[in-house]
Amino acid sequence: MRALLAVGLLSAPLAASASDNSLITQFCKTAVKAELHRAGTVPPEGMVDDTCRCFLAEVQNGAGIQTAQATCKAKAAETYGL
């Protein structure tokens, strides 16, 4: 999920009304899938969506990019047994 750092390159701030269809969420999903692919891991059903919803919520609630990544990566590992 380190690839989620690429989301930090976006210059526009996150809007509180951002939805699951937001550009940020799409970037997140692409980044998470790419990192898992590089690690040789097939994500369990729902993991990518859950991780990106977590990331977006954390950032919208004021967490920094790295903190949101770490929090959501830990939650995904616990939830999905990775």
Output the tens digit of pLDDT for each of the chain's 82 residues: 444 433 433 333 444 444 556 888 899 999 999 999 999 999 999 999 999 999 999 999 999 999 999 999 999 999 998 8
- pLDDT at residue 3, rounded to an integer: 42
The pTM (predicted TM-score) of the whole model is: 0.71
Q: Which of 13, 52, 12 is nearest to 31 (CA)?
A: 52
- pLDDT at residue 22, rounded to an integer: 84
- pLDDT at residue 81, rounded to an integer: 87
Amino acid letter at 67? T
- pLDDT at residue 12, rounded to an integer: 38
